[in-house]
Structure 1
Amino acid sequence: MENGRASVEIERKFLVANETWRAAAGPPIRYRQGYLSKTALGTVRVRVSDGGAYVTIKGRRRGLTRHELSYAVPLGEAEELLALCGSWTLEKERHLVEHQGSIWEVDVYLGAAAGLVVAEIELEREDQLFAIPPWLGPEVSLDRRYRNSSIALQAEPYVTGESSRTVTLQAEACVASERTVAL
């Protein structure tokens, strides 16, 4: 999205069932992000990475779609905003993975959410078809627990230790061979 320009975000999100995605992954991009506000109307996020710093306003989700507005901010100001977020923050590494003409973003969470790995794909429309990679597990697009703002709040326990193994096994059980889906 261009700086300051409104756009619509349509994304599908899945748990990752295994590590085979790493063979096609690009280098990781490390993100630190925090939440300044979360209401029924949307969220306000600050994010810092090697690629810059942004404040993003995301509107209320309607199905898989929501409005998004993002502004580049100076790194020093973003760091100050992150400090205002207190513990409502998260860190993750994002890997871009190409699969049959689509780019997937695979997020490997660090810190309190270590062990959680989620893949998402951005779409042009909600009913768009796409090939599902064999390393994907169950879809969690509409599960509030897997929204970054919820992960940052740590309101729900995420995968660590034995529970990580359990989630991975459950995800692997849901994986079928290559398939194409629409919502």
Structure 2
Amino acid sequence: MVEIERKFSVKNTNFLVNAKESFKITQGYLNSDKKRTVRVRIKGDKGFITVKGLSSDNGLSRFEWEKEILVKDAEALLLLCEDFVIDKTRYTIPFNDVIFEVDVFEGANKGLIIAEVELQSTDQQFEKPNWLADELTGDERFYNAYLSNHPFTTWKQH
């Protein structure tokens, strides 16, 4: 149950023409400690609870456990979450041998667009689409748990 992923900023919305699907996500954190985050999420018409461990030194991998729960239970748990809840739209974009998930944030994180790609190994090679910009892997400011406590619109510089 190890998640291996890389994150990137997105320089434009050209990815939208290749989006296979999109859905709304609302999520909050029962615990946002970077050693053990506990996330509650409503993704489309499904609810989830997820526990994530501390990221590796390079930020590429960490323990992740996720369980589907009833939406009504997720809604009740969201009321118990820390600070503020994140709202975003996720787009799924297949590109060659990988699938990018691009999150377009709303509300207090409006203006932030992050692409993630899950990999099979930390050294897996993949081609990057031209709409990707800087790599954000390992930069804790772009973890959703951080964004829930320090929204993007409150940053002094974007």
Fold-level similarity (TM above 0.5): yes
Map of 2:141 onto structure 1: 145
Map of 2:41 onto structure 1: 47
| Runs of at least 5 residues in structure 2 that lack an aligned partner in the other structure | none
Give the Cα–Cα distance (whole angstroms) in 2 for the partners of residues 30 and 60 of structure 1: 26
Which one has a larger percent helix, Structure 1 or Structure 2?
1
How far has the Cα of 1:50 moved from its partner? 2.1
Taking structure 1 as reference, are residues 132 and 54 closer, same or farther at Cα in structure 2, changes over 3 Å only?
A: same
How far has the Cα of 1:149 moved from its partner? 0.6
Query: Could you tell me whether the CA contact under 8 Å between 2:31 and 2:82 is conserved in 1?
Result: no
Per-residue CA shift, 1:81-134, capped at 9, x if unaligned?
A: 001115331011000011122110010001011111010100011111000100
Task: Please state if 1:123 is matched with 2:115.
Answer: no
How far has the Cα of 1:154 moved from its partner? 2.1
Alignment of 1:28-177 (within 5 A): 28-62=22-56, 63=58, 64-154=60-150, 157=153
How far has the Cα of 1:34 moved from its partner? 0.2
TM-score by length of 2: 0.91
Deviates more, 1:36-45 or 1:57-66: 36-45
Name the % identity.
Answer: 36
Query: Could you tell me whether the CA contact under 8 Å between 1:58 and 1:68 is conserved in 2?
Result: yes
Query: Could you tell me whether the CA contact under 8 Å between 1:89 and 1:153 is conserved in 2?
Result: no
Q: Aligned partner of 1:50: which letter?
A: G
Equivalenced residue count is 156
Map of 1:14 onto structure 2: 8
Map of 1:23 onto structure 2: 17
| Runs of at least 5 residues in structure 1 that lack an aligned partner in the other structure | 1-6, 168-183
Q: Aligned partner of 1:122: which letter?
A: E
Per-residue CA shift, 1:9-37, capped at 9, x if unaligned?
A: 00000000111111101232100000000
SS at match of 2:147: helix
How far has the Cα of 1:49 moved from its partner? 2.0
How far has the Cα of 1:152 moved from its partner? 1.3
Query: Could you tell me whether the CA contact under 8 Å between 1:35 and 1:149 is conserved in 2?
Result: yes
Give the Cα–Cα distance (whole angstroms) in 2 for the partners of residues 115 and 136 of structure 1: 15
Q: Aligned partner of 2:134: which letter?
A: P
Query: Could you tell me whether the CA contact under 8 Å between 1:116 and 1:158 is conserved in 2?
Result: no
Q: Aligned partner of 1:59: which letter?
A: G
